[in-house]
Amino acid sequence: MSISRNIPFCIPHFPEEDIPGILDRLREPLCSGLLTQGSNVREFEERFANYVGTKYGVALNSCTAALHIALECIGVGKGDEVIVPSNTFVATANAALYCGASPVFAEIDPQTFNINPQDIRNKITPKTKAIIPVHIAGQPCDMEPIMEIAREYNLYVIEDAAHAHGSVYKGQKCGSFGIANCFSFYPTKVMAGAEGGIITTDDEEIAGKARRLRNVGRGGMGPLEITEIGYNYRMNELQAVLCLHQFDNLAKLLEKRNKIAEWYTARLKDIDGIRPPYIGDNVSCSYYAYIIKVNSVNRDELRDKLGQQGIGTSIMFHPVHLQPIYRKLFGYKEGMLPLTEEVSRKVLSLPIYPKMSEDDVDYVVSTLKKEMHNAARHQTGRGK
C-alpha cells in the first residue's frame, strides 16, 4: 500500500529560521569551554521558575532525575510508600523504588484519566509519605482535593509536570502546587531540550539539597566538600540553550497546540465510538498529547491502519503495574486497577506538534473515520 502522507506523532519545534540564533548562542559555551552548569543553565532556571511561579528552579538532565531527587529531598526512603497513578510513564513509579520506597498505585478518574483523589484517600496507610499526581497530556489534575488530602494526612505532594509546561489549574500554574515539582524537556515534550528536567520549588532547603544531589553531592569547592551521596544529574549548557529557545517560544507553542486540539475536537466530537479528551472547567491544558478513547473498534488494529497510511500515534499509557518487571517484583496482575486497565486498552494519542496544519488534521481525521467505518463493517461481518 502506498503512503500518501507522512504525519509523525511528534516533531520538536526548531524551525530553520531559528537555527542561526541557536547556533550563535551555543558559540559562547563552546568557545569558553564552560560546557555545563554555566550561565545559560542559571538563566533558564531563573526564568522558568519565575514563569511557573516558584522561587527556585534546579535544572537537571531529565525529569526522571528530577523525580528521584525530589523524593530524596523530602526524605522518602526505605519502608515509605508513595502514591502514584499507574496510568503514567514508568519513571514516576521508578522514582519511589530508587529511594528504597514502594510505589502504591491509585486509580484514575475515568473522565480525565488523571489520578483519582478519592482513590488516593483509599490508598493511604501509616507508611504513606508522598503523593505524585501526574498531569497526563498536560490536563491538570484536580489539585484542590489532592492538596486537601495532603494537608489532612500530612503528606508531601510532588507534581509530575513532565507534560504540563504552561498548564493552569484554577488560575495557578501546574508545577507550583507541590513542595517540589518536576518537568521534562525530552524531545517529544512541549519544550524540547534534547534531554533535560527541572525541579521547581519555593523551599530554599530543598533547592539547595537538589543542587548538591545533582552535582555528585558537592556542597562547595574545597577539599572536604562532599556533603551527601549525590549523582551526576547536571544539565549542560547545550541543553540549556535549547531549553531557552523553547522557553522564548512557549506562549506561541501552547497557542498552536491549543488550536490543533480545537481543530481535532470540532471534527471528532460527533463521531460515534470516539471520545475526544475531556478538559475540566477552570483549567488550561498544554495539550502535550491529544488522547482520544476508541470505544467501538479494536484500538490496536486501528492504530496499525493509521500507521500504514503514514500517521504516527502513541499509547499513553500502558499501565505501570502490568509492566513485566513490576509483575515480577510485586506479583501484580490484571484486575488490580480495572478503570486504568480498561482505559489503557482504548486510548490513542493522535499526532500533535506545532508545525501541524489544519490540512494535516483533516487527513488524520478523515483516515480515522474511514478506518473506523471499515473496522465496524468488518466486525459486523465477523459476527454473522
Ligand X SMILES: Cc1ncc(COP(=O)(O)O)c(C=O)c1O
CB atoms within 10 A of CB 170: 12
Shortest distance in whole angstroms from residue 270 CB to ligand X:
31
Site residues for ligand X, window 180-199 (CB under 6 A)?
Answer: 184, 186, 197
- Encoded one letter per residue, x for contact with ligand X by CB under 6 A and - for no contact, window 331-360 reads ------------------------------
Which range, of 28-36, 84-92, 208-216, 244-252, touches ligand X by CB under 6 A?
A: 84-92
| Cα angle for residues 287, 345, 81 (degrees, 5° grid) | 75
Q: Based on the shown chain and the rule CB under 6 A, indicate whether residue 164 belongs to the binding site for ligand X.
A: no
Shortest distance in whole angstroms from residue 63 CB to ligand X:
3
Choice between 10 and 91, CB closer to ligand X: 91
Which range, of 56-64, 210-218, 269-277, 339-347, touches ligand X by CB under 6 A?
A: 56-64
Q: Where do the DSSP E strands lie in the chain?
A: 56-60, 81-85, 102-106, 128-131, 156-157, 168-169, 172-173, 181-184, 197-201, 274-275, 283-284, 290-294, 347-350
Q: Based on the shown chain and the rule CB under 6 A, indicate whether residue 94 belongs to the binding site for ligand X.
A: no
> Which residue in the set 37, 87, 88, 116 belongs to the binding site for ligand X (CB under 6 A)?
88
Q: Based on the shown chain and the rule CB under 6 A, indicate whether residue 63 belongs to the binding site for ligand X.
A: yes
Report d(CA 86, CA 103) in Å as an integer: 9
Report d(CA 181, CA 221) in Å as an integer: 28
Q: Based on the shown chain and the rule CB under 6 A, indicate whether residue 290 belongs to the binding site for ligand X.
A: no
Residue whose C-alpha cell reads 466530537 in the numeric block: 269
Does the annotation mark 78 as catalytic?
Answer: no
- The grid coordinates of residue 274 equal 470516539
If we measure between CA atoms, which residue out of 55, 38, 26 comes closest to residue 234?
Answer: 38
Report d(CA 67, CA 285) in Å as an integer: 22
Which range, of 62-70, 102-110, 217-225, 346-354, touches ligand X by CB under 6 A?
A: 62-70
Question: Among residues 127, 129, 170, 189, which one is catalytic?
Answer: 189
Choice between 99 and 162, CB closer to ligand X: 162
Shortest distance in whole angstroms from residue 199 CB to ligand X:
12
> Which residue in the set 48, 51, 89, 263 belongs to the binding site for ligand X (CB under 6 A)?
89
Report d(CA 9, CA 152) in Å as an integer: 41
Shortest distance in whole angstroms from residue 152 CB to ligand X:
26
Site size toward ligand X, by CB under 6 A: 14
Which range, of 85-93, 167-175, 263-271, 329-337, touches ligand X by CB under 6 A?
A: 85-93
Report d(CA 189, CA 289) in Å as an integer: 9
Query: In sequence order, what are the residues at sequence separation of 6 or more whose Cβ sits closer than 8 angstroms to the Cβ of residue 140?
Result: 114, 164, 167, 168, 169, 174, 280, 283, 285
Does residue 158 contact residue 200 with C-beta atoms inside 8 Å? Answer: no
CB atoms within 10 A of CB 158: 28
Shortest distance in whole angstroms from residue 180 CB to ligand X:
14
Shortest distance in whole angstroms from residue 156 CB to ligand X:
17
Query: In sequence order, what are the residues at sequence separation of 6 or more whose Cβ sits closer than 8 angstroms to the Cβ of residue 360?
Result: 5, 7, 351
Choice between 323 and 374, CB closer to ligand X: 323
Query: In sequence order, what are the residues at sequence separation of 6 or more whose Cβ sits closer than 8 angstroms to the Cβ of residue 48?
Result: 57, 59, 183, 198, 200, 243, 247
CB atoms within 10 A of CB 9: 16
Choice between 70 and 375, CB closer to ligand X: 70
- Summarize the chain as % helix, strand, coil (round to 5): 45, 15, 40
Shortest distance in whole angstroms from residue 53 CB to ligand X:
21
> Which residue in the set 37, 54, 62, 176 belongs to the binding site for ligand X (CB under 6 A)?
62
Residues at the contact surface with ligand X, assessed by CB under 6 A: 62-64, 88-89, 91-92, 134, 160, 162-163, 184, 186, 197
Which residues are marked as active site? 189
